Structure 1
Amino acid sequence: MVPRQFTFLPRVERRETRSNGRSARYSHWIRYNTFYGLVITTTLSTLLLAAVQYEWRVTGRFFQFANRFPASIALGVQLLAALFGLIHVAVVCRLLNYAFRLRLAKRSVSLDMLRTWVDMTIPRIDWDLPLRFFIPLLFTVFLSLVPAALWAGSITPLIARTTTGGMLLLPSYDDVSLIREYPMNIGQAGPSVRNQKGFFTYSVGQQHIGQLLSSAAAASSIGMRPLMHSKIDNTQFSYKGRSYGVGAPVGLTDLVMSSNKQAAGYNYQEEGYLCNVTCVYNTTSNFHLTPTEDAWIYGAEGMLPDSLDGPEYSSYIGFDGKAIVAMGVAYSERSPRRYIAITAGEAYRTLNNTQCELVFTPTLFNVTVDLSNFNITVQPVEMVTDFNPQRNLTRTVVRQFELLSNDLTNLYVSQLGDAFNSSIAAYNMSCSFAAAARPAPTEQEATLAGLTNSITAMADDMLVAYASAQLMVGRKFTAQPARVFVFALQFGQRGYIYAIFGLNLLIMLAVLLEAVRTYGWSSLGRFNYLDPRDLIIAASRGGRAVADAADAMVERVAVEGKKSGRGGVWLLGDPDVGNGGLVVRLSGDEEGHVAMMVGGTEGEGGESEERDRKERGGADGEVTPGADKQFG
């Protein structure tokens, strides 16, 4: 009984399928099973492409597992990438195998060529091949590593962000009855609340002196980076650049979003006042210091550009008046403009006769919150209708400067004046970084710039303080939607996904084109040169002819090599002179079984099969009806 797997080529006369197994059917599944693996890779690569296009993200328990066990995820990725890469390599190798088997049925090949085919189809490195075969083989083996690498880059989970909705509470200014100037007397301060999130009060100029003084001193950033300054509470958030008086809800009324461990941040829009400060020297200022009848008491009095009900007046303490920095602010509620006039003693002479105008423009702001780094970034968007038409918020904010300057002046020093000088010094230092690009500022220019920065920073912080008081003390708020950025996983990088999708498509096209070209591999026989059983039995059917030809060739090539002094080019292996150059071809008997025969020259066609049968005493067989369907 002859084993089924050694049935010869379909184009040779075949017998019907018999109980003795001489002519086995080559089933559809055996021929095409490897190609069905492309269903898996095509489905997965398509899903990955859709995930890139529609920005699909993974959150929840899988995200938490990936963060807790990254090594396990990496192991799983490598195994899956190897599996999917194996499918691609198996399909390509099957295409090569079928193509080589069809060629072997029609042409004679050398044993070195046959070895190369075997190595390419597995694929593996054979160090004993001649260089002319080894280089293509090395390139093929290298390409076999590419699919798994591309799959690894396509399915590796990466930290990304996705968006979802959220809600937070913004301060409402429909009721501003608590936003007003409270007396400086002990026990008459405005309403306040102290909790674990901080201290919140409507007496901003009295109760937040430390924070405001720090903001004034650090208002001028040194270097090219934006200024980072803390929010006036215990939420640990800091503003990156100006606060513009908004962002108070961050850390206070955003519990739903900030408590989400997967939330990376969020952004929302908030209305506030964009405060633009312009400071100048007014040499004709009517606001000045005058001694009084009381020792160590000096009066700061005079008219301001926005004074409507008479001159402004306030008392300051000082040993001799040299250390006083007095700020005058119009008290009238009818004043449409906001001015600050400064008069100072000799110790702070550069601040004397300076005057600043504050313009508050109702503006819509984008507020972006980074929950990972506790940063807040604010950007103006557009002007809006005034949300506080009474303008008592801006008036109260500016009035706090007069209170601060009075509280921060003692017999020997003005702490507010020192804070302004720190800002001026920082501005000079920042200009030194750009000394090559512009000339150094004059003393007056530096003074006005540093003072402008300080007044702006203090005004922004006061607006935030009043907004926080509206939320935490007055409980006056309104709901506002926010867009929340949540940490999630995305599978692979865009470039790798495109590459693996293109590779999968290319392999599918190659399969289709090859199937069309070969009519579904209809001429493919069951003989497979990768199966050692096929090779051994086929060689045994050929008799001693192959072995005798090999022995004769070894002797001939060895003699010719000694005479000419030439030989083949080899890499690492010893030149197996003779065997590799032996040319063989396939033939078959009348039963259609394979025999490995000695061929003529390499590439010779298979038209000599008829002659082979006659030499071996075989006879032509009759064509069996239905034989063309036996291989499915």
Structure 2
Amino acid sequence: MVPLQFTFVPHVDRRAREGNVQDGEKVVPYRHWTKYNTFYGLVITTALASTLLAADFFEWRATGYFFRVANNFPGTVALIVQLLAAFFGLIHVTVLCRLVNYALRLRLRTASVTLDMLRTWVDLSIPRVDWDLPLRFFFPVLFVVFLSLVPAALWAGSTTPLISRTTTTGTVLLPSYQDVSMIREYPIEIGETGPSLRNQKGFFTYSVGVQSIGNLLSSAASASSVGTRPSVHPKFDNTQFSYVGRSYGVGAPVGLTDLLITSNNQAAGYVYQETGYLCNVTCIYNRTSDFHLAPTVDEWIFEASGNLPDSLDSPEVSSYIGHDSKAIVAIGVAHSELSPRRYLAITAGDSYAFLNSTQCTLDFSPTLFNVTVDLSNSNITVSPGQPAPDFNPQRNLTRTVVRQFELMSNDLTNLYVSLLGDAFNSSIAAYNMSRASVSRDPCTEAEATIAGLTNSITAMADDMLVAYASAQLMLASQSTSASATVYVYALQFGQRGYIYSIFIFNGLVILLVMAEALRTRGWKELGRFNYLDPRDLVIAGSRGGSEMARMADQWHGRRMKRFWLLSDPDEGNGGLKVRVRDGDAEGNVAIVVAGEEDGERALSSSPSDYRKPPRVPISL
């Protein structure tokens, strides 16, 4: 009976079958694509890693459609990212496994290995965890398998879209002061107030000191923040924006004339520059002040009169109502149109004696301010910049602002109380609490009064400047366009640490491939036998003859493992050493038991009756 003959047909170039014979083995060369196809996958990973690195360096961001999709379907995006990360990680792992595979296949041509070692190399080449390995092999394999998960994890961290910001340009309309004819003092009389407008965006008026009293009182009372955090106070309109810290009299266009920016749903905020007045307030006690309260012929009418440092032509005179002078807080401001109007003089009755004889100086310096608008939190942050040319040389704006203090003090005094004095008192009390929270050194009543009063006057002056700027925009339509840097929500792919890590890792893999290619001269001696292919193993084992089976039977039960992990007991033949025998004319190889002629014994403790039979080549 003729035995069956098996023939293994490799994917090789048949024209190269007659290659050179070295050491008795026929080396059948691979086609280029068959040998190197796995390494070409590094072109994909290198291109992507380089793109991610460039995107991080140049801060490329994805906006528009891609941002909306990622924001609306985060689960789907996460799934796609995981699949892509697994694919790119698979390329790296496959390349490394191919290097391991090629290295052992070259080594098998000249050295023998035990079956346990062969299993270990198989597990490293896949990679996988073989729970039946001896512990000295199991833990290294487990570690390598764990490391094989790292490339996919790095790719996930490098490609996951994150919410970031990018910049673009926008336009905002700033208040213009070319025409300031409506910025002036209006009498506190019914029907004599200045122009005003009420719409969905808020209430806007040129009689700020009269028709915005409620907002100004709130600013005065909360001017001194409690604690170390800056105060947050709302803007005088319905835009729902708030200032963090001082407004410095700018920021009026926010929410009013920035529609070209806020209409972009992806806009996160913007920054622009606006010229305004930096108001520096200095308050002192002036015990020699000429401004005093005095009764009149009418027992319910009291007169606050006297000269101020900047009074011209005549003394300042204003009337206040009250049962007596105890509840009166009167503020004097120069009334002359020629006066620079830089001073406030306060005289008060016994109920507000701590405010009596105080005096404040207001210096308005034209300054270019940086305005930062956070659209997501509806916050405005203003910081002073460099000095700027005076945009209102006639100083209609500043003189009118200072005069509002006299109007408010008169309007906010009734028979029983001064609302303005109570607001100042609230600011003073808040300053005392703030001082106590940051310092153990107590301050005197005079120090607290001066500090709280300074904060209130500063806050009110800033807010009045914003109110007049808003009136210029909404009532007088006096505006000028200015550019703004707009921060737009966008997608950033990956975090910097992961991007740099995967780029370096990809580079190391490339260097490793190049080093192996140089060391092995492009794997020139690589045979076609692949221990990962069960067809090759079966055929090569059958070529080794029956001696392999006989030796395995002799090893059975003699080299039993004493300990195994989560598996069935070992059959005891893992220590059997084998080697690959030289191929025939067609490049076929045989797996045989390693013998003494190879300079080593097949068994470290062989049976006494062991006798190595001669090796007879078997051709299938």
Task: Give the aligned partner of residue 282 of structure 1.
Answer: 286
| Contact 2:564/2:570 (8 A) holds in 1 | no
What is the 5 A alignment of 1:570-589? 570-573=564-567, 576=570, 578-589=572-583
Q: Quick one: structure 1 residues 173 and 474, their matched pair in 2 at CA, closer, same or farther if it must change by over 3 Å?
A: same
Q: CA deviation at 1:531?
A: 0.9
| Contact 1:589/1:618 (8 A) holds in 2 | no
Q: 2:492 aligns with which of 480, 490, 493?
A: 490
Task: Give the aligned partner of residue 517 of structure 1.
Answer: 519
Q: CA deviation at 1:601?
A: 7.6
What is the 5 A alignment of 1:363-512? 363-436=367-440, 439-512=441-514
Q: 1:265 aligns with which of 246, 265, 269?
A: 269
Secondary structure of the residue aligned to 2:279 is: strand
Q: Quick one: structure 1 residues 131 and 615, their matched pair in 2 at CA, closer, same or farther if it must change by over 3 Å?
A: closer
Q: CA deviation at 1:135?
A: 1.8
Alignment of 1:153 with 2:125, yes or no, is: no
Partner AA of 1:178 in structure 2: M
**Separation of aligned partners in 2, 1:450 and 1:344:** 16
Q: 1:197 aligns with which of 179, 194, 201?
A: 201
**Separation of aligned partners in 2, 1:7 and 1:470:** 84
What is the 5 A alignment of 1:296-335? 296-335=300-339
**Separation of aligned partners in 1, 2:597 and 2:370:** 77
| Contact 2:547/2:613 (8 A) holds in 1 | no
Q: Quick one: structure 1 residues 135 and 600, their matched pair in 2 at CA, closer, same or farther if it must change by over 3 Å?
A: farther
Q: Quick one: structure 1 residues 604 and 48, their matched pair in 2 at CA, closer, same or farther if it must change by over 3 Å?
A: farther
Q: 2:124 aligns with which of 107, 120, 144?
A: 120
**Separation of aligned partners in 1, 2:380 and 2:191:** 35
Secondary structure of the residue aligned to 1:468 is: helix
Q: 1:40 aligns with which of 35, 39, 44?
A: 44
| Contact 2:11/2:30 (8 A) holds in 1 | no
| Contact 2:543/2:617 (8 A) holds in 1 | no
Deviations 1:424-451 (A, max 9, x none): 1111111121233xx1111111111111
Task: Give the aligned partner of residue 28 of structure 1.
Answer: 32
**Separation of aligned partners in 2, 1:555 and 1:543:** 22
Partner AA of 1:372 in structure 2: S
Partner AA of 1:582 in structure 2: L
Q: 2:588 aligns with which of 579, 587, 593?
A: 593
**Separation of aligned partners in 1, 2:236 and 2:533:** 79
**Separation of aligned partners in 1, 2:306 and 2:598:** 112
Task: Give the aligned partner of residue 563 of structure 1.
Answer: none
**Separation of aligned partners in 2, 1:261 and 1:603:** 77
Task: Give the aligned partner of residue 139 of structure 1.
Answer: 143
Secondary structure of the residue aligned to 1:34 is: coil
CA RMSD across the alignment: 2.4
How high is the TM-score relative to the length of structure 2? 0.92
| Contact 1:169/1:478 (8 A) holds in 2 | yes
Q: How many percent identity over aligned positions? A: 68
| Contact 1:245/1:272 (8 A) holds in 2 | yes
Partner AA of 1:593 in structure 2: N
**Separation of aligned partners in 2, 1:384 and 1:205:** 27
Secondary structure of the residue aligned to 2:308 is: coil
Q: Decide which moves more: 25-34 or 293-302.
A: 25-34
| Contact 2:367/2:385 (8 A) holds in 1 | yes
Deviations 1:578-600 (A, max 9, x none): 41100000013533311110013
Q: 1:206 aligns with which of 210, 229, 241?
A: 210
Q: Quick one: structure 1 residues 467 and 547, their matched pair in 2 at CA, closer, same or farther if it must change by over 3 Å?
A: same
| Contact 2:341/2:402 (8 A) holds in 1 | no
Q: Quick one: structure 1 residues 349 and 495, their matched pair in 2 at CA, closer, same or farther if it must change by over 3 Å?
A: same
Partner AA of 2:477 in structure 1: R
Q: CA deviation at 1:554?
A: 3.3
Q: CA deviation at 1:186?
A: 1.1
Tell me how many residue pairs correspond in the alignment. Answer: 597
Q: CA deviation at 1:602?
A: 13
Q: Quick one: structure 1 residues 358 and 319, their matched pair in 2 at CA, closer, same or farther if it must change by over 3 Å?
A: same
Q: CA deviation at 1:14?
A: 5.0
| Contact 1:110/1:582 (8 A) holds in 2 | yes
| Contact 2:234/2:242 (8 A) holds in 1 | yes
Q: Decide which moves more: 363-372 or 379-388.
A: 379-388
| Contact 1:528/1:534 (8 A) holds in 2 | yes
| Contact 1:7/1:527 (8 A) holds in 2 | no
Deviations 1:309-328 (A, max 9, x none): 12100000011111000000
Secondary structure of the residue aligned to 1:433 is: helix
Deviations 1:12-44 (A, max 9, x none): 99579xxxxx99762211111111111111111
Task: Give the aligned partner of residue 99 of structure 1.
Answer: 103
**Separation of aligned partners in 2, 1:143 and 1:337:** 76
| Contact 2:172/2:481 (8 A) holds in 1 | yes
Task: Give the aligned partner of residue 627 of structure 1.
Answer: none
**Separation of aligned partners in 2, 1:268 and 1:603:** 83
Q: CA deviation at 1:70?
A: 0.5
Q: Quick one: structure 1 residues 509 and 357, their matched pair in 2 at CA, closer, same or farther if it must change by over 3 Å?
A: same
Greater relative contact order (Cα 8 A, min sep 6): structure 1 or 2?
A: 1
Deviations 1:90-136 (A, max 9, x none): 11111111111111111100000000000011101111111211121
Q: CA deviation at 1:616?
A: 2.3
Q: CA deviation at 1:217?
A: 0.6
What is the 5 A alignment of 1:70-81? 70-81=74-85
Task: Give the aligned partner of residue 185 of structure 1.
Answer: 189
